[in-house]
DNA sequence: CTTGACCCTGTAGTTGCTACAGCCCCCATA
DNA sequence: TATGGGGGCTGTAGCAACTACAGGGTCAAG
């Protein structure tokens, strides 16, 4: 059961260039090649790529993915390390949400302050540029 | 009242390199120079930089900032264009928050499924890599 | 035998900065 | 006058995580 890079891409909704990029940075191993130098993947590589993509979809950075892959390779270790990375990432996500919500409130206030009219009177512009010419 | 680039940076909490970068990409005009070729800023530039930084803090992209600056230069135009950009950005922020909240839910479910034990049995690993060696 | 879809390598672009390297300049102090 | 520290200058390279070419080779169908 061999897969071309295009089939790997379709199976995981990944662009070909991205797969080659993962190979280049060492997230995916260098695969076997056909006689015409095409990449030749097996199910293990497909699994690994699925893992990477799913992790990326959940917002893990490539460095975190690398760590997860390293930890998940060692089946007999306990999974505290994996848990730690995942929970740390959850905290980051929470922080990001909170930051965006704060930003949203501020942005909304700026927008709501504007009643229309000319740019001269626009409160948005005023709110953005605190220092007038003077 | 002339300012050096360092004073501009302090006044707006902006690194010197960032100010030069804004100049390079045309967000800030090329300033006057002193006899020893130092950048020589006035209050108008300080205002413009403040505007840029405040907009960036509110999450506008540099392209959006560029558009806002263009619109706000024309004081007699009505401010509908500015309103449009700001509201469009608000929508983007809302979308980002919703995306992150969905991601958070999924991540939490993955984490909660894990009871500890070895990596072999770890549900997080299982949830991340749907395709086993088959 | 040609057409079109696929694959190859390598490089440059994206966004918004940040970090040098290697230089110049200015002011104060010894 | 030397010299030391803190600015400033240009230009280039790096970060994340891809994406988009350019300029080729390969393969299956008609």
pLDDT at B132 over 70: no
A interface mutation test: which of B56, B100, B112 has the most A CBs within 10 A?
Answer: B100
Q: How many CB atoms lie within 10 A of CB A21?
A: 14
Give residue B130's pLDDT.
Answer: 64
Within this chain, do residues A58 and A105 fall inside the same structural domain, yes or no?
A: no
The verdict on a CB contact (< 8 Å) between B83 and A51 is: no
pLDDT at A5: 97
* CA-to-CA dists, residue A21 to A15, A112, B32, B94, B103, angstroms: 10, 45, 44, 31, 25
Question: B33 lies in a domain?
Answer: yes
* CA atom of A29 to C1′ atom of C7, Å: 18
Smallest CA-to-CA distance from B47 within A76, A20, A125 is with: A125
Residue/partner pairs of B85-92 with CB below 8 Å, 24 or more apart: B85/B60, B86/A107, B86/A110, B86/A111, B86/A124, B87/A111, B89/A107, B89/B58, B89/B59, B89/B60, B89/B64, B90/A104, B90/A107, B90/A108, B90/A111
Residue A111 lies in a domain: yes
The Cα–Cα gap between B19 and A123 comes to: 26
Looking at the structure, tell me whether residues B103 and B125 fall in a common domain.
yes
Enumerate residue ranges in chain A where pLDDT < 50: 132-134
> Which positions on chain C have an atom < 7 Å from some protein CB?
6-10, 15-20, 24-26
Task: Give the per-residue pLDDT at B131.
Answer: 52
Rounded distance between C-alpha atoms, residue A71 and residue A64, angstroms: 10
Residues B50 and B29 in one domain: yes
Is residue B82 included in any domain, yes or no? no
If one counts the domains in chain A, the total is 2
Q: Are residues B52 and B92 in the same domain?
A: no
Answer yes or no: is pLDDT of B133 > 60. no
Average pLDDT of chain B is: 91
Q: Is the pLDDT of residue B69 over 50?
A: yes
A:B CB pairs within 8 Å: 177
Question: How many whole angstroms from its chain centre is CA A40?
Answer: 26
Q: Closest Cα partner for B71 from A99, A78, A122, A36?
A: A122
Q: Residue B38: inside a domain, yes or no?
A: yes
- Are A79 and B120 in contact by the 8 Å Cβ rule? The answer is no
Name the β-bridge partners of B39.
B33
pLDDT digits (tens, 9 = 90+) for B86-114: 999 999 999 999 999 999 999 999 999 88
Q: Is the CB of B37 under 7 A from strand D?
A: yes
Question: Could you tell me if B73 and B28 lie in one domain?
Answer: yes
The tally of CA atoms less than 13 A away on the side-chain side of residue A40 is 9
Residues with CB under 7 A from strand C: A 4-7, 9, 16-17, 20, 37-39; B 15, 17-18, 21, 35-37, 56, 61-63
Asked if the Cβ–Cβ distance from A104 to B86 is below 8 Å, we say no
B101 CA from D8 C1′ (Å): 46
* Contact between chains at B118 and A78 (C-beta distance less than 8 A): yes
**Residue B62: pLDDT band by 50, 70, 90 thresholds?**
very high
Contact B46, A131 (CB under 8 A): yes
Domain that holds residue B20: 1-77
Could you tell me if residue A120 is inside a domain?
yes
Question: Is position B126 within any domain?
Answer: yes
Residues from chain A contacting residue B78 (CB–CB below 8 Å): 116-119
In a domain, A32, yes or no: yes
Domain membership flag for residue B122: yes
pLDDT band at B22 (very low <50, low <70, confident <90, very high): very high
Backbone angles phi, psi at A120, to 5 degrees: -50, -45
Interatomic CA–C1' length for residue A67 and nucleotide C16, angstroms: 27
CB-strand contact B4/D, under 7 Å = yes
Task: Give CA separation, A100 vs A112, B82, B101, in Å.
Answer: 18, 21, 11
State the pLDDT at residue B29.
Answer: 96
Q: CATH number, domain at A46? A: 1.10.1660.10
- Domain stops at, among B59, B77, B95: B77
Token digits of residue B115: 């009871």
- Residue A33: CB atoms within 10 Å: 10
pLDDT at A41: 97
């Amino acid at each position: 059961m061999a897969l071309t890079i295009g089939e790997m891409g379709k199976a995981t909704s990944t662009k070909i260039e991205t797969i080659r990029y993962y190979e280049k940075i060492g997230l995916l191993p260098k695969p076997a090649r056909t006689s015409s130098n095409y990449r030749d993947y097996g199910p293990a590589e497909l699994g690994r790529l699925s893992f990477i993509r799913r992790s990326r979809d959940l917002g893990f950075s490539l460095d975190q993915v690398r760590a997860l892959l390293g930890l998940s390779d060692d089946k007999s270790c306990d999974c505290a390390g994996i848990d730690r990375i995942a929970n740390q990432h959850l905290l980051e996500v929470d922080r990001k949400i909170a930051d965006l919500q704060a930003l949203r409130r501020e942005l909304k206030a700026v927008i709501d302050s504007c009643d229309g009219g000319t740019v001269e009177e626009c409160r948005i512009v005023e709110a953005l540029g605190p220092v007038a010419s003077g």
